[in-house]
Structure 1
Amino acid sequence: MNVRAGMAVAIAAALLVGAGPIGAANGASAAPARSGSSPFTLQQDQIDADEVRMDVALRPNGTAEWTVEFWMHLDDNESTTAFASLRDDIRDDPANHTRAFADRMRETVSTASNATGREMSVGGFDVGAKRQSFAREYGVVRYTFRWQGFAAVEGDDLRAGDALEGIYLDDGTRLLIAWPDGYERTAVTPEPDEDRDRAVIWRGSETDFVSGEPRVVVTAVGSGPPTAALAAVTVVLLGGAAAGWWYYTRRADRVDDGSAGPEPAPDAESPRVDSAETELPPSATTDAEQADATATDDAPDPELLSNEEQVLRLLRERGGRLKQQTVVEELDWTDAKTSKVVSGLREAGKLESFRLGRENVLSLPDGDDELVADTGDDSAE
């Protein structure tokens, strides 16, 4: 018999405690002997298990946490009394009940390690017994242990099942393999008898494993290379960050670091307007909808304009009149810097200002031929 077939029989023999010698050791070519209504004999108390549940929980490092449960119907006084006695024995001396099981599993894991070429070990054995009620009463004996190296770790993939290749499942036996959170199913062979959230189940009454089975391959979610869309978004974000830094440094070079001074009084020659008698034209509002419709595609880049040119351009875009506070908001300047630039333009005769309530309003002087020359914007002619 080949090594893998022997390994499968060995696993079955080890898990069916007391069912017979390990197949790999004695050259058996078939599954452990079974009797029609009593397929599994548990320990030496001759209590027959009606169901065997093998649950294998994979971990990202390839270790598997194993739970093997033997379920027995407690249909009469005899079976109930026998299970109660076994449960008491397990509680009083659990090591005695794990010793033979652990010895068989160590031989089994050694056989699996030789067959797969992967380093393996087993430990952490424990046993417990309890009664369980569903539609009927059960006595359950549960063995738990840890099998290191059970699954192969290949990059972001976990590949499990080769250590169980060809394992025989009796009609009353099921095998469940579960994978960790953060992994998704990539391949499962053969098709499971039942799918669960992050787990698959095979039942002996429905599945016979052949060479290369069972196999479960799962992959860490999001472990692959970034998609083209993600790469494009990354490029856009990096480009935006670079442009923002360039803009910030350019503006920083132009910021006037003079301290803030008092708001300049209206020019003595500028007419004073009573806010109760005069209403600003719509062009004086700061609503973004009043953006200039006369701007052309070949207009100069605002970043290349001087501070004064930026104020004059903004005035033209807003119909020749706007509040000084609008300049602060639109150009993102400080009050002090705005006041200094406005004062220089007013002294040069390139704009006028007057009070409207508590607001300082800026306006272009009569005729803007000079303004056109200053800003280099020929679209207004």
Structure 2
Amino acid sequence: MSSTHRAVALALAAALAIGAVAGPAVAKPAQNENDEPSLVVEVQADGDAVVTLTATYDLTSEAERDAFASLQNDGSARENATRRYAERLDSVARNASDRVDREMRVPVDEASVSFDERGDVGVVRYSATWKNLAAVEGDRLVVTEPFASNYDTDRPFVLIAPDGYELAGATPAVDAEGETTATWDAGTSLDGFEATMEPGDSGVADSLPGFGVGAAVASVAGAAALGLRRRRSP
């Protein structure tokens, strides 16, 4: 397999990981720019969200280094992988719309991809805007689907509240917190997922299940490594 084909295959594998869900203006990378594989949902005050999938490549491996370079430098491969990611998200969003009383969608043409190198790790972040991911209930934002329906993440799942909001409640229990973030470890079943965000200035609520002194001092980047099989490709 050529390095370009391998790059696309690895990228599509990351995009298709979204398929674990039963049945995210131009997107920008989420504020939480982990260097580990992760799925980050950055909720906006209007209920939209930027959904960013982070995939990594081991640059000490010739095959993965070539794949990373091919994806970064081959415009066609890059566009194909990014579009496939957004199309998969859009399919999930439209299916999830049947389980909520609002229309969800992901504008495929607004998806983006960014590249970064951190030492011997190549980092690729695919981002797309998910319209109406959160329900707007007065001054509250509530996220349920598609994560509530048999979603098992193979990488840490990170939820970021909008500026000026805090996480007021979450099910299942959160594994780690940041200033305005909540993280669930890789492998966590999110069946029945619900997260409620409300205006506030104190960050993530200390009383949330799973939050304690130990979790409070853990950074989101550190949380991304918890329970994660150290694989350098999606």
Q: What SS does the corresponding residue of 1:204 show, helix, strand or coil?
A: coil
Residue aligning to 2:117: 131
1:216 aligns with 2:195: yes
CA separation of 1:20/1:193 partners in 2, compared to 1, >3 Å: closer, same or farther?
Answer: closer
Q: What SS does the corresponding residue of 2:189 show, helix, strand or coil?
A: coil
1:182 aligns with 2:169: no
Name the count of aligned residue pairs.
176
Counterpart Cα distance in 2 of 1:67 and 1:179 = 14
1:140 aligns with 2:119: no
Q: Deviations over 1:242-295 (max 9, x none)?
A: xxxxxxxxxxxxxxxxxxxxxxxxxxxxxxxxxxxxxxxxxxxxxxxxxxxxxx
Is contact 2:111–2:127 with CA below 8 Å preserved after alignment?
Answer: yes
Residue aligning to 2:48: 63
CA separation of 1:23/1:155 partners in 2, compared to 1, >3 Å: closer, same or farther?
Answer: closer
Is there any run of 5+ residues in structure 1 with no aligned partner, and where? 1-13, 26-49, 223-381
Give 1:51 shift.
Answer: 5.2
Counterpart Cα distance in 1 of 2:186 and 2:173 = 13
Is there any run of 5+ residues in structure 2 with no aligned partner, and where? 1-11, 24-34, 202-234
Residue aligning to 1:163: 146
CA separation of 1:148/1:200 partners in 2, compared to 1, >3 Å: closer, same or farther?
Answer: same
Q: What SS does the corresponding residue of 1:82 show, helix, strand or coil?
A: helix
1:98 to 82, 85, 104: 82
Is contact 2:21–2:146 with CA below 8 Å preserved after alignment?
Answer: no
TM-score w.r.t. the length of structure 1 is: 0.42
Give 1:105 shift.
Answer: 1.6
Letter in 2 for 1:117: D
TM-score w.r.t. the length of structure 2 is: 0.66
Counterpart Cα distance in 2 of 1:19 and 1:61 = 27
Counterpart Cα distance in 2 of 1:221 and 1:148 = 23
1:151 aligns with 2:149: no
CA separation of 1:15/1:108 partners in 2, compared to 1, >3 Å: closer, same or farther?
Answer: farther
Provide the aligned C-alpha RMSD in A: 2.7
Q: What SS does the corresponding residue of 1:188 show, helix, strand or coil?
A: strand
2:37 to 44, 52, 59: 52
Residue aligning to 2:6: none
Letter in 1 for 2:143: A
* Percentage of matched positions with identical amino acids: 30
2:98 to 114, 123, 136: 114
Question: Per residue, is there more helix in 1 or in 2?
Answer: 1
CA separation of 1:152/1:23 partners in 2, compared to 1, >3 Å: closer, same or farther?
Answer: closer
Counterpart Cα distance in 2 of 1:81 and 1:156 = 48
Residue aligning to 1:333: none
**Runs of 4+ off more than 3 Å:** 18-25
Is contact 1:51–1:72 with CA below 8 Å preserved after alignment?
Answer: no
Q: What SS does the corresponding residue of 2:88 show, helix, strand or coil?
A: helix
Q: Deviations over 1:311-366 (max 9, x none)?
A: xxxxxxxxxxxxxxxxxxxxxxxxxxxxxxxxxxxxxxxxxxxxxxxxxxxxxxxx
Counterpart Cα distance in 2 of 1:77 and 1:15 = 19
Structure number with larger C-alpha Rg: 1
